[in-house]
Amino acid sequence: MQSDNLNKLHTTNHKLKTKTMSSQRTFETRIGRYINGNAVIQPIAAYNPVNPLITKAANTAYINTVTGLNNTVTTSLGALGTLINTRQALVFPIGDTNPNCIERRIANAFNYLKTEVGLENGQVVFVGTVLNKIRPSGKGATGTKTFTLKAGESIVVNNVVNGSDATNTGNTNIEWNEVSGPNPPAPILPGETETITAPSGSVLFKNFSNLKAGKIKVTVNTSSAVTNSKSEKTFTAVLGFLSEIIVAIGAIGGGFVYSPVDPTLSIAQLTAVRNQLQTLNTNIVEAAGTYGTNHRLRKVAYDHSTTGMNMRIQLIKNYLAGFPDGKLNTFYIEYSDAIKGE
């Protein structure tokens, strides 16, 4: 059940969709402009609307609420990111920075077993088979490719190099997440570069604009030698494989005593790191759920059809348009400019 929850997380809790009007603006930019607009109306003595949604007090309260939600989302996303980075380093190699990751422990244990027991033993062969499943059989050549996404389009790019950079070379917001991975979707703004954490190599990119095409440049493996299954490199798969390896080592038989010199390869240490991964998987599901809830609450505050920011802005503009000279009066023009960021 936990495996299903992890692998389907992005399709249940985190289908984050943005309306066309806000697709080109970050949440922070939008509230910043709303704050600027509020600064225009607060000193206006004649600004006394009856509508409780757009009174001076209501605007101040709304700004405080949205600012608090932004901070909550940032905090929860940071907590989730820390857990994800910790798990990534625990399981898969990141250059030479984590020599005791699970993948390398399995490789080292396999080398030890090949020497001490030999490949005639079925349990040793099993360990080698698992190792081949969770890492590519060859690194292969890599290269950068730029993909164009039509307005509103989502595409899946396979063989993306894990830990490589993706650069948004277009003019629209692009969101990415690993296919069947536990990570919630993350945005890449125009001109920005993000590190792609996707052990499976399969990444979903979505263009949030319904009006313009977007572009994303990523690093992909170009060699057919990279044939590992994406499902076998997921964190839940590694958890299961490591459990099976621990059982396999204990089943070698023939009087063999498993006693590697490297203490990180001991059964006790392999069991401990497996339990650590299991805990991280659980914590990430919970943290992703918290982030998803906070994000949805923020989306409601921003984009609710009757109480969201766009509705408030329109109501305020309608009220200001009722002043002398209509939409040509100074207050209306200054407020409109503030909302536009001008």
- Asked if residue 130 and residue 18 are part of one domain, the reply reads yes
Q: Who's near 120: CB < 8 A, 6+ residues apart?
A: none
| pLDDT tens-place string over residues 333-342 | 999 999 998 7
Q: Tokens 């309260």, residue? A: 61
pLDDT at 22 over 50: no
- Asked if residue 264 and residue 208 are part of one domain, the reply reads no
Contact, 275 vs 243, CB < 8 A?
Answer: no
The mean per-residue pLDDT over the stretch 43-65 comes to 97
Question: What Rg value do the Cα atoms of the chain yield, rounded?
Answer: 26
Compare 16 and 334 and report the one with higher pLDDT: 334
Sorting pLDDT into bands at 50, 70 and 90, what band is 221? confident
Q: State residue 60's pLDDT score.
A: 97
Q: How far is CA 285 from the centre of its chain?
A: 12
| pLDDT tens-place string over residues 62-84 | 999 999 999 999 899 889 888 98
C-alpha span between 190 and 203 (Å, rounded): 18
- Asked if residue 120 and residue 34 are part of one domain, the reply reads yes
- Asked if residue 212 and residue 259 are part of one domain, the reply reads no
311 burial type by CB count under 10 A (0-12 exposed, 13-18 middle, 19+ buried) = middle
Sorting pLDDT into bands at 50, 70 and 90, what band is 213? confident
User: 0.75 exceeded by the pTM?
Assistant: no
Among the candidates 153, 187, 221, a domain finishes at 221
Among the candidates 221, 239, 271, a domain finishes at 221
Parent domain of 150:
142-221
- Asked if residue 178 and residue 278 are part of one domain, the reply reads no
Contact, 94 vs 86, CB < 8 A?
Answer: no
Q: State residue 272's pLDDT score.
A: 97
Among the candidates 193, 221, 249, a domain finishes at 221
Overall number of domains in the chain:
2
Q: What does residue 180 show for φ and ψ, rounded to 5 degrees?
A: 60, 20
The mean per-residue pLDDT over the stretch 30-46 comes to 96
Sorting pLDDT into bands at 50, 70 and 90, what band is 250? very high
